[in-house]
Structure 1
Amino acid sequence: MTLCTSITGYLQELFVGIIIICLVGLSHIQLNLDSEEMCACIQCMAGSKEDPWFAEHYKNRVPKLLSRQNSELHPNTSKWWQRLQGGPSKKNYSAVVETLFSLFPDEEHYSDAGPHRCRTCAVVGNSGNLEGSHYGHLIDAHDFVIRMNKAPTAGFEKDVGSKTTHRAIYPESAVDMDNSTHLVLVPFKILDLEWLISVFTTKHITRTYTVVKSTIQVAKDKVMILHPEFMRYVYEIWLQKQGKYPSTGFMMLVFSLHICDQVNVFGFGASKDGNWNHYFDKRYYHFLNTGVHRGSAEYNITLKLHQKNKIQMYKGW
């Protein structure tokens, strides 16, 4: 009887110990699930910081989209942005911002990261390697589909899809959009912000350094503005100041790393015959490192992100 009592007591203590260990373990798991590092996907973008190279580049506290609250520019950002415009501007930036957010949503977007979110994003470039790819259904299956500039979908649905949730443009590349698409303005100059205001009010700006649309079809409540601080971050941290400034496509790729949990990239790089043409314009060929962009650096970083399993890159061939 004494032996049985001893065994029973031992088993009770052992059982209690196991319960405590399990509770501590579950508490630790819950702590991880509640962390901003986690998401509901198998692999989370923000949880990739164990990779030294990625952690060195990925700065999640950089403001992504402009709002009244974060509109004051760091002096270094202001100087860099002014250089893109050819020098200091006499325009009143603060007044322009005030007008912007009397017209457009003034809020913090995409701050909902957490253990219950699994947001999939397709960043769709304009490369000729999309031709014949049959990626259309795959692209459309993503939560967000981000396209750049004037890239059309009509007539190319089988290869590029038909869904567009975000389109990044600047005045010189503006196109009409349906009411389900967010306009993401990439402002290279204060005049770009003024143009956006003009589109929805006076429609008086018809020219920047070239002729631009005085009005476009787009839902006012879906207008967003990429933050100049984010643009500088992409240029200095990701590109290490190569070129004059990043391409719109590369900025949207980095942007997607910050608002999405899983990122798939389509239409970046050369076509299978080595040409750097657009899928919608075979007559247009551009060289990789001409003009203001350092295309080879952008492409190599994109490849590295793919090799490190931070993104999945679809080449079309």
Structure 2
Amino acid sequence: MSLPKRRKIRTFAVLFCIITFTTLLFSYTCPIPSLYFFKYALRLSDNFFTKGLCACQECMTELEDDPWFAEHFNQSIHPLMTRDNSILSDETFKWWQWLQSEREPADFNVVVEELFQVIPDEVLYMDSRPERCRTCAVVGNSGNLKGSQYGSIIDACDFIIRMNQAPTTGFERDVGTRTTHHVMYPESAIDLDNNTSLVLIPFKTLDLQWIISALTTGTIKHTYVPVMSRIKANKDKVLIYSPTFLKYVYESWLEGHGRYPSTGFLSLLLAMHICDKVSVFGFGADRYGNWHHYWEENHLSGAFRHTGVHDGDYEYNVTLLLADKHKIHMFKGR
């Protein structure tokens, strides 16, 4: 057994003993054990398991084996926003506000308070059982998925992350049928079924106001372009991508290339922080060198890479490097 795994088992044993002892103490001293305590203890164990014990034969986040990965990967930064971690540093807030500048942005703290009155204010992670090797499929939108027949491989993963306006109907053989998490921003929003978690990437305060509106009154119909005024989604499954985590991805992984990361790259880093084994589909060009969506016939080869917003080449090179280092498994399609 490797040294990192032995350390993890010892850490788990200590945590288990602490929780058990404290539970017994509360049971002895209180006629009715505190419900708050049990909730707190369970949250501690959930946080521990989120990226703690790994039941895979090879664990992506065993940092000792690769100095480059250890330098870039920061496990302490929470990828999703909650009421408790929603306070942004001045530096982060200024950077985030600069991404898609608003003339008169609303008060961020007031909006966040309103947001967590509509959606859950705690992140219940996907699977906290230590005996599971948590597998993620990050399904991009590249035309290289056409004819790939990856559908069954994708559907076999525990968590399947799709993004923006990607359809599955009519493309099931190549892209699969299941979606557990769909990543989007207001301008790329689509309706979701009741079992899929909506993961919103906010690039401005208005984006947070939009999700509140889209789930309630439907009053916001325009950001910098027309957007869906209402969206079909389970509000109890809505998750918010943290601006702090977004900045970490931009600075640590992209080292300032582009204006901000693409939805695809942000989805990849989300998966790397919540899963033990990550498989990537539909990234990069097709075999003819075209960068287009698998559901479109788009002959504007390379358009994504020259928007001036994302550095597609740099993102793809980092993705390839992660694959070369066996941190992710990349399916290159056709």
TM-score above 0.5, yes or no:
yes
Which is further off, 263-272 or 87-96? Answer: 87-96
1:238-317 matches, within 5 Å, as 238-283=253-298, 285=300, 286-317=303-334
- Pick the structure with greater CA Rg: 1
Q: TM-score, normalised by structure 2?
A: 0.83
**C-alpha displacement at 1:75, in angstroms?**
1.3
1:229 lines up with 2:244 in the alignment: yes
Task: Determine the structure 1 residue equivalent to 2:36.
Answer: none
Cα contact 2:185–2:202 (8 A) shared by 1: yes
1:31 to 10, 15, 19: 10
1:1-317 matches, within 5 Å, as 30-31=9-10, 38-86=53-101, 89-110=104-125, 115-283=130-298, 285=300, 286-317=303-334
SS at 2:160 equivalent = strand
**C-alpha displacement at 1:277, in angstroms?**
1.1
Q: Please, what is the CA RMSD of the aligned residues?
A: 2.0
CA distance in 2, matches of 1:215, 1:303: 38
CA distance in 1, matches of 2:267, 2:106: 27
CA distance in 2, matches of 1:228, 1:113: 24
Q: TM-score, normalised by structure 1?
A: 0.87
Cα contact 1:242–1:294 (8 A) shared by 2: yes
CA distance in 2, matches of 1:295, 1:120: 25
CA distance in 2, matches of 1:32, 1:90: 45
Cα contact 2:144–2:332 (8 A) shared by 1: yes
Task: Determine the structure 1 residue equivalent to 2:25.
Answer: none
SS at 2:138 equivalent = strand
Structure 1 residues 201 and 236: CA distance shift in structure 2, 3 A: same
How many residues in Structure 1 have an aligned counterpart in Structure 2?
292
Structure 1 residues 138 and 90: CA distance shift in structure 2, 3 A: closer
- Which blocks of at least 5 consecutive residues in structure 1 are unaligned? 1-25
SS at 2:297 equivalent = strand
Q: Matched residues, percent identical?
A: 54
Structure 1 residues 31 and 195: CA distance shift in structure 2, 3 A: same
